[in-house]
Chain A
Amino acid sequence: MTQLDIAVIDYGMGNLRSVDKAMEYVSPNAAVKVTSDPDEILSAGRVVFPGQGAARDCMREIDARGLREVIKEAARSKPFLGICMGLQVLFEHSEEGDTPCLGIFKGEVVRFPKEAMHDDAGEKLKVPHMGWNNVHQSMSHPLWTGIEDGSRFYYVHSYFVQPASPDSVTGFSHYPFPFTCAVASGNIFAVQFHPEKSAQAGLTLLGNFITWDPFKTKSACDMADSNCA
């Protein structure tokens, strides 16, 4: 087992090389590895949870590898970045294949509704939502540091998350209506778009994740008692 700085969770869903390469690019000295080994994931400093494909397949593969509790534990205890399906399956349920998901965030994952998919001029909008769209930051967050509000990120998806409460929403895009594209809670940040494919804006976000310390106050106390007196 390798002691990793960054574990990219591999549960057999899609191509993780891009995520791996982008993490190495923004953090050349870090030990980054794509892994499905529970021990490697749980001992890593940070965890990236990517994923592509259908929700039902994702959940099946997560369970087939015994990773359900590992992912939940990582999402409780480490800086945790969900990407694409790694955002969607954090919610309670996906309409895609009527799939129960991990339930870390309250809310549903739903498809872009066919009847709504046209622009102001009445032109049809395609699904999947594929390409570069503006991401509006609805809340300040360390992971948005250095990224201009409204910057474009690259998307490929047909489903989007509907959080039960607006408290966790940190970003949204329009297609054609506003939908949530980024959520955060404590040590978790998760996005629908692909930062690993979003040129400089995406690399900045990944770089912010590498240096993000969501446990700042707590870890300072743990390390030096005198600071907490």
Chain B
Amino acid sequence: MLAKRIIPCLDVTAGRVVKGVNFVELKDAGDPIEIAKRYNDAGADELTFLDITASSDDRDLILHIIEAVAEQVFIPLTVGGGVRKVEDVRRLLNAGADKVGINTAAVTNPQLVADASGYFGSQCIVVAIDAKRVDGHWEIFTHGGRKPTGIDAVEWAKKMEKLGAGELLLTSMDRDGTKSGFDLELTRSISDAVDIPIIASGGVGNLQHMVDGIKIGHADAVLAASIFHFGEFTVDEAKHYMQQQGIEVRL
């Protein structure tokens, strides 16, 4: 049986992982390569790197990180953040990313999703959707959640699937950082509206939240940052808990 996936997310800026990572005896808490190896050893099913570098001068640093990680960690690697052009996708894939996340640029230029999936295949194009509850539906926001678009999130998800997205990374802006669990209604509405896999993100505070995201929200994978980074739970603990709740996981 296909396993539901657990995907730790690392925020990277100027070549360093930000947000504390609380692995025992980690020599350098900001070293993306060592952190990636630790997560791999801990049983992470994939890794996502989110490049939050503000300055475009430092953007290339993520390429070096991905190159180095891809030489030592043999699980799928997704990279997102600041992807604007087909050439950006190409550079990340050439560096060793297996999938590339497109967020703001999918809204400003939906053709990018079609072009990138046409060139490189749907399997490597993840469209990231930041959604927020507005007037009884969910609206998508861009630019790190700052800019409203007026676009309905469920309709947008269907459109992205049609344009060639291979997977959707869905973040609830209402829940992100709250530790109160995923927006299950949002997750389920989108997961049921498309045939491609959904990664739920935003709001995980405990292991039951992950179970709910999969069982009630119908997510195919769950992405989490802080509960792993701060050492509250390990990936292995999360998987054992999910297994006890009847969810198929890779152990």
Contact = CB atoms under 8 A, between A and B. Distances in A.
B250 A18 contact: no
Contacts of A22: 74
B74 A196 contact: yes
Residue from A15, A17, A127 with most neighbouring chain B CB atoms (10 Å):
A15
Interface in A165-197: 174-175, 196-197
Contacts of B195: 114, 117, 124, 126-127
A3 interface: no
A174 B71 contact: no
Contact of A156 (B72, B123, B198): B123
B94 interface: yes
Interface size class of B (residues with CB under 8 A): 35 or more
Contacts of A126: 195-198, 220
A15 B66 CA distance: 14
Interface residues of A, number: 39
B77 to A, nearest CB: 8
A174 B1 CA distance: 6
A54 interface: yes
A25 B74 contact: yes
A21 B96 contact: yes
A146 to B, nearest CB: 16
Nearest to B45: A132
B3 A152 contact: yes
A131 B95 contact: no
Interface string B199-233: 00000000000000000001011000000000000
Given A18-B96, A21-B96, A54-B121, A199 B220 contact: no
Interface in B139-184: 166-167
Contacts of B54: none
A13 to B, nearest CB: 8
B74 A152 contact: no
A15 B167 CA distance: 17
Contacts of B1: 133-134, 174
B71 A130 contact: no
B219 to A, nearest CB: 10
B197 A133 contact: no
A151 B96 CA distance: 25
B29 interface: no
B120 A14 contact: yes
A115 interface: no
Contacts of A156: 123, 166
Nearest to A153: B250
A93 to B, nearest CB: 20
B134 interface: no
Contacts of B4: 131
B98 interface: yes
Interface of B: 1-5, 40, 45, 70-72, 74-76, 93-98, 120-124, 166-167, 192, 195-198, 218, 220-221, 250
6 contacts: A13-B121, A18-B70, A52-B121, A130-B123, A156-B123, A202-B74
Given A21-B70, A128-B197, A152-B3, 13 more contacts: A13-B121, A14-B120, A15-B124, A17-B93, A17-B95, A18-B74, A25-B71, A114-B195, A132-B45, A133-B3, A175-B2, A199-B75, A202-B74
